[in-house]
Every structure is written in structure tokens, then in C-alpha cells.
Amino acid sequence: MKPVDLARKLRREAAFEPAALDRGKAVLMAAIRQQVAPRRRPTIVPQVPYEDINAALAFLERAFGFREIPTARFVSADGVLLHATVEFGDSLVGVGGQGHHGAISPMSGGVESQFISVQVDDVDAHYQRAVAAGARIADELRDHSWGERTYWALDLEGHRWRFGQPIREVPQSESRGRPGQE
């Protein structure tokens, strides 16, 4: 119930029983605090380096459905975008220029040192979106013995992204292999 609706209810009850307002005060304050509490940031936020941050942001939105947080942009005095943050569900990913903190894009260094795994609600629809936007598919959609359906894609600079969706519960005793062992 919204705080305003709760306040109206408490006011009506207080007309018949003044003590109801005192009892409802804690409930009302808890409802107000819940509505204004700041969103908790994720504990871990990967930072991914790119040669062209603007192109990366456009691609991540178009192909993978990420959304840039406009208030999280860092721009230099001469107008160059240095860092941005994108969100997907309740997760964040930092998008920065290469060389920042010693990290470089696979496009420049020819090395992949990590990948990012993202859980989606509909992996088939997500796959179709990525293909339509020109993402390079590194591993086609497939079901795994551990109960997940996944695909792998490379972004415009060669970073590896794994997208998956749980499709069924599998008891550990029945699982034939784990991710990376199938």
C-alpha cells in the first residue's frame, strides 16, 4: 500500500479510535522509508575497456538490451567521454576507455582475459535481438545438462558475453557435467 493511502486509512481509523493513529505511525514511517530508501548498488561491478566508448554504449544497448545511466557519465574538460555505466536488471557494468587502470580492449591486445555472464528472462528472444543487431555469435543457443540454455556472443571489440536462462531444475546427482565441462 502506498504511504498516502496508508495515511488516509489511519486517519479514518483515528476518527473512531485516536490510539489507532499512534499504532499506525510506525507502519506509516516504515512505508515512507521503504519508498525513499536508495537503491543498493551491486557488490561487484565489472569494468570493461573499449577503444570507442560511444560505439560500445550504442552496441550494448542495441544488441544486448543494456541501458546507460545518464547520471553516471564521466566526461573530460575537453568533452571526451572517459567512463559510463550501463545497467541490466539489477546489475551494473562500467564501460571505460582502454588503458584506464591498465586494461585494454581485446581489439587492441588480441587477448581475452575474462567474460561476463548475464542471466536473462528469455534467452531465445535475447539471442534474436543480438543477431539482428549484428553481434558475432561465438556459440549458438543450446541446452546444457545442468538445466540452463545459453549462447555466447562477442561485442564490437571482441569482449565475450555469455547469456543464459535456467530452463529446468536438475538434481546434482543427475547433472552430467558443469559449465565448461560439457
The per-residue pLDDT for range 32-69, each reduced to its tens digit, is 665 555 566 676 789 999 999 999 999 999 999 999 99
Instruction: With respect to residue 29, please indicate whether it lies within any of the assigned structural domains.
Output: yes
Q: What is the pLDDT of residues 90-135, one digit of tens each?
A: 899 999 988 766 788 888 876 777 889 999 999 999 999 999 999 9
Strands (E), the chain: 47-50, 67-68, 74-75, 81-88, 91-97, 115-119, 136-143, 148-154, 160-166
pLDDT in tens, 19-32: 666 666 666 666 66
Q: Are 144 and 182 in contact (CB under 8 A)?
A: yes
How big is the chain by its Cα radius of gyration, in Å?
23
Residue 85 lies in a domain: yes
Task: Look at residue 172 and tell me if it is in a domain.
Answer: no
pLDDT at 177: 54
Predicted TM-score (pTM) of this structure: 0.67
Residue span of the structural domain in which 24 resides:
3-36
Domain count, the chain: 2
Q: How many CB atoms lie within 10 A of CB 20?
A: 16
Residues 14 and 88 in one domain: no
Based on the fold, state whether residues 26 and 63 are members of the same structural domain.
Answer: no
Residue that wins the pLDDT comparison between 156 and 11 = 156
